[in-house]
A and B are shown apart, each in its own frame.
Chain A
Amino acid sequence: MRSTRHPAPDLGRLVTDERGVSTTVGYVLSLGVATLLLTGLLLAAGNFMADQREGASRTELRVVGQQLASDLAGADRLAQAADDGSVTVRRSLPPRVVGSAYTIRIDQGGAVTDGYVITLEAENGVTATARFTAETDVATPTSLTGGDVVISYDTDGSAVLEVTNA
């Protein structure tokens, strides 16, 4: 009986062996997998970007609000220290936060006496609030936009703290 010996596979010939290979299928597979991969990456990056933008907007609005609140509280202390006189405080706020314009609104409120609330809202819908107290009356409601603001007080005038855009 003759023994059958299978020859060792010739790996070099596999590369050039095109039996069972479809160029179209290969093309579709390559493109499809690459597309899926890239789509997933871009989606994830996009979502990540959106979250970061929102977080950055909120953080920046919060900081702007706190700065304005501290300036108002400081202006209140200056006003209270004077029997008569005037106070002018200037603050340069960023005109936009993460590329979005924003509005500032000051209202009475809060759980404490003489409490006020500053509400900041960006065009992208992100909002933030800051609170402060002032013994001196603050003109409310007040609406502003980002940028340079001026806090003014004069006993010869209205004798309230007024906040306006410069």
Chain B
Amino acid sequence: MNFPIKLKDKTVYCKELSVKHYKEILKAIYGDEPSEEVFVETITDIIKQLVNEDLKPVVDELSIIDTFLVLLRLRINSMGDTTTIILKSNKKEATLELRLDWIEKELSEFNNSICNKTLEYENIKFKFNAPSCKRLLSKTDTDYLYFLEELHISEEKSLKIKTNEEAKKVFDRLPIKGSITFIKYFNEFLDKLQEINFLKQYNSFSKEVLGFVPNIQSVIWFTKLIFNESIETFYNNIYYLCQISHFNPEYIESCTPGEYIFFSKKLEQTIAERAANRTSRNTVTNTGELPTGLNEFVDKSTNNT
């Protein structure tokens, strides 16, 4: 099934995420400090596999915000529009069903209102936009340089800025008033960014803040939030789906994550029913982890033979 994802100036048609892609995402965000390069390569590669051929070159040019919006929409379409999070405040814990479609809406509105803007100073036009993931991989001390996407002089002459070094060279040659025009807008962008709070619509949590920063670390953090199954649990589930429910691993990888979750829950129910019918001390946990005493099943099958 293909579905549209509306970005600021384009609509991208995507196929559904598969379990194979889901696995790659979980691997890319695994650990305390996932590699930014690996994450960016993995996500852009996955998106390229899911879009039409003619849109593949566009994927590398997507801004970090657009990339996250695509990821968010893929997650919503394949696994639903909520995720459960636990908020801790003053030694208290509370569970929240976080609406991902609300996050998508707020971030989209922010993106549309402040990003991809053309600023003018005399006969110079600057295109201000959130940087692409690849641009963010090369670091710079001066944050606003990331956001210079293109420069036009007198309508005919233009330069697409591909690296931060190019942005620096251009900036150094600009008249100061031109630079100030750009930097002032960047400061407005930062002010608006601080207003983002994905928790403000939840009355019980209105004092908490869940903001967004357009950098790779922030997107990795949010990816962990929206794809919050541990890789160990995932591998366990695949193993038991194959072992107990006799699924073919290639088939599972071709399913959508939604289907995989459905099958995992079914497996969970089946095992719970079996366990209830036997005198067993093993239990099934809510995370879908299966009993470690699998030998019981093996023994049963051996006895049958």
Q: Do A and B come from one complex?
A: no
A: which residues have CB within 8 A of B?
A: none
